[in-house]
């Protein structure tokens, strides 16, 4: 068992698995006296959708997204009701790469991540963010299996 931990990184996507994930991380944080770094990685909307056709500026769209992310984060924290220090982190980019980069930057001791419910061909083509985190993480990773209907 890990003897010491001060930073636990918890990547969330605000799915139903996020509440039990954060509660599990909260239990670990209490055991170790650690802080939770709640991390959400969002995509560059302009690389995903052609919002330019709607004549919207990238700044306007990103600010609206950030407000929505903050609201979801507030709701998650309220629902999970975890009583340990939590730092919110938002990053833009490719999910697994940004999570791993942040873990390195923060000097994280543990990552607590939910696995998704994908299987078969969908998993083969899309890949698993949790799988890449487990494979390349510089620290221990605790995985929590998401329900199949999440």
59-86 tens-digit pLDDT = 888 888 999 999 999 999 999 999 999 9
**Rounded Cα–Cα distance for residues 85 and 38 (Å):** 10
**Rounded Cα–Cα distance for residues 32 and 45 (Å):** 38
31-64 tens-digit pLDDT = 999 999 999 999 876 655 554 555 667 788 888 8
94-128 tens-digit pLDDT = 999 999 999 999 999 999 999 875 555 555 544 58
Can you give the pTM of this predicted structure? 0.86
**Rounded Cα–Cα distance for residues 94 and 101 (Å):** 11
Q: Which CATH architecture has domain 31-119+134-145?
A: 3-Layer(aba) Sandwich (3.40)
């Amino acid at each position: 068992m890990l003897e010491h931990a001060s930073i636990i990184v918890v990547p969330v996507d605000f799915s139903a698995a996020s509440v039990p994930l954060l509660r599990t991380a909260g239990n670990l944080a209490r055991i170790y006296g650690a802080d939770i770094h709640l991390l959400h990685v969002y995509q560059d909307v302009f690389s995903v959708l052609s919002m330019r056709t709607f004549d919207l500026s990238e700044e306007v769209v990103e600010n609206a997204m950030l407000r929505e992310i903050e609201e979801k984060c507030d709701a998650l924290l309220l629902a999970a009701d975890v009583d340990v220090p939590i730092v919110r982190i938002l990053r833009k980019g490719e999910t697994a790469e940004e999570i791993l980069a942040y873990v390195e930057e923060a000097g994280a001791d543990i990552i607590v991540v939910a696995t998704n419910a994908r299987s078969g061909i969908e998993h083969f083509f899309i890949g698993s963010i949790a799988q890449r985190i487990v494979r390349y993480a510089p620290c221990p990773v605790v995985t929590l299996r998401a329900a199949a209907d999440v």
